[in-house]
Amino acid sequence: MAEKEVRPRRLKTASDIAKFMADYYYELDEASKSGSRKIAWCTSVGPAEILRSMGFLTYFPETHSALIGTRKMAEDFIPSANAIGYSPDICSYLTSDIGAYLQGTTPLAKAFPGIERIPGADVLVYNTNQCRDVQDWFSWYSKRFGAPLLGVETHRNIEKVTPAHTSSIAAQLENMIEPLEKIAGRRFDIDELKNAVALSRQCSVLWEKCLATASAVPSPLTFFDATTLMGPAVVGRGLQPVLDLYGLLLEELNERIERGEGVTEGPERHRIYWEGMPVWGRLSMHSKLFGGLGAAVIASTYCSSWIFNALDPAAPFESMAKAYSELFIVRSEDYKEKYIREKLEFFKCDGIVYHDAKTCPNNSNCRYGMPQRLQSKTGIPALIINGDLNDMRLISDEQTKTNVEAFIEQLEEA
């Protein structure tokens, strides 16, 4: 099947979002060099609101790893982590990030002139809701920096989030307050936490609305764009400026819908759902590949991971516990299947692509029969791409291209 060159339409708000991300890293860099603010490391779906409310600047190493991936540097760094005992089969976010640190380098230096290293940590806070790798990852840095490590151990394989789940997680969150007060050198204030939770909730609402615009035909947004547009929802939830940014983005997406304008100048013959991690080093290549075949990859589970509907400032600890346990990644196979079915319907998709990321089983949902079960129930064809989030040695571009072309041909014939 012939792939055509199509020109993507760029969103104006993307530049504002890029500036926000640059400011985020520069602020951390300044604080790390001067010691002017305490810095907390936090996992991407960790309890950021508590950290914000206590005045910490918050650094999310996963976004650093994603930058390593997009800059195609992971393969240079991973061997250094392997050499100290981290298997090539475990999370390539972890191995590429630790490898970069061991080599004394970071892609931040190229992306943001003046920054030479990642920020240090006064405390590291993880939540195992996404995986156990984050605990090992943060534990390594905790020893390296001599900084305390605090964590939340979350239940796994949850079908329905019950009060028993919520109360046990809420108790773990509350138990963090005392050690955090000592590190922050200030008292915890419940009103500040309520404020951070309220802002985080508003961010979640706006981000969800932005993603939902992709249900329009043609879609004004692709999954590939959303992977970078979601940066502020990850690193800035709980902060006011993020609300302004997503307000602007939503406006721009709605304007596109009003004009009937899709993401490229080409036709949108097929609408694809992406299940799994992005292949960070191939975002542009994959965007062109699908776009050139008249297929728009418009929605994903991954980008929806920063929607926290349960957050409620009236009950900050309990609602955080609920929101961070309701995530797709923590849920049972049956829940996940139902979730994806609803998304396929909502976004009017006629195909689904599963990315089987070699080093992230937690975000690879095609290993226990999900594609076959969903296809038999919905009739929507599925394709599995073998690859990885960061380690590009694990992906065959030729194979991916051939498989995607054959898949789109199959959709054309349907």
Rule CB under 6 A: is residue 154 a binding residue for ligand SF4?
no
From the list 31, 100, 118, 134, which residue makes contact with ligand SF4 (rule: CB under 6 A)? Answer: 134
Nearer to ligand SF4, 74 or 245 (CB): 74
- CA 163 – CA 28 distance, rounded (Å): 37
- CA 41 – CA 132 distance, rounded (Å): 16
- CA 276 – CA 394 distance, rounded (Å): 15
CB of 117 to ligand SF4, least distance (A): 21
Q: Which residue is listed with tokens 């931040």?
A: 108
Rule CB under 6 A: is residue 362 a binding residue for ligand SF4?
yes
Rule CB under 6 A: is residue 202 a binding residue for ligand SF4?
no
Structural element, H or E, at residue 18 = helix 13-34
For 173, how many CA atoms within 13 A lie in the half-sphere containing its CB? 27
CB of 44 to ligand SF4, least distance (A): 7
CB of 236 to ligand SF4, least distance (A): 19
Instruction: Supply the DSSP symbol for 2.
Output: P
Q: Point out which span in 113-121, 239-247, 344-352, 359-367 binds ligand SF4 (CB under 6 A).
A: 359-367
Q: Point out which span in 147-155, 167-175, 211-219, 355-363 binds ligand SF4 (CB under 6 A).
A: 355-363
Nearer to ligand SF4, 91 or 211 (CB): 91
How many binding residues for ligand SF4 (CB under 6 A)?
10
Backbone phi, psi, residue 124, to 5°: -125, 130
Rule CB under 6 A: is residue 131 a binding residue for ligand SF4?
yes
- CA 91 – CA 134 distance, rounded (Å): 9
CB of 41 to ligand SF4, least distance (A): 13
Nearer to ligand SF4, 126 or 407 (CB): 126
Structural element, H or E, at residue 76 = helix 74-83
Residues 308-347, mask of contacts with ligand SF4 (x by CB under 6 A): ----------------------------------------
CB of 357 to ligand SF4, least distance (A): 7
From the list 97, 133, 252, 326, which residue makes contact with ligand SF4 (rule: CB under 6 A)? Answer: 133
DSSP 126-140: EETTS-SHHHHHHHH
Residue 299 in 3-state DSSP? strand
Instruction: Indicate left, alpha or beta for 135 from its phi (over 0: left) and psi (-120 to 50: alpha).
Output: alpha
Rule CB under 6 A: is residue 388 a binding residue for ligand SF4?
no
CB of 324 to ligand SF4, least distance (A): 14
Nearer to ligand SF4, 91 or 382 (CB): 91
- CA 99 – CA 133 distance, rounded (Å): 15
Nearer to ligand SF4, 323 or 330 (CB): 330
CB of 130 to ligand SF4, least distance (A): 4
Contact 214, 299 (CB under 8 A): yes
Residue 57 in 3-state DSSP? strand
Site residues (CB under 6 A) for ligand SF4, limited to 52-111: 91, 93
Contact 290, 38 (CB under 8 A): no
CB of 126 to ligand SF4, least distance (A): 10
From the list 389, 392, 408, 411, which residue makes contact with ligand SF4 (rule: CB under 6 A)? Answer: 389
Provide the β-strand partners of residue 295: 270
- CA 83 – CA 101 distance, rounded (Å): 13
- CA 330 – CA 352 distance, rounded (Å): 21
114: tokens are: 């003046």
From the list 13, 130, 195, 365, which residue makes contact with ligand SF4 (rule: CB under 6 A)? Answer: 130
- CA 319 – CA 407 distance, rounded (Å): 42
CB of 231 to ligand SF4, least distance (A): 16
Interface positions with ligand SF4 (CB under 6 A): 91, 93, 130-131, 133-134, 360, 362-363, 389
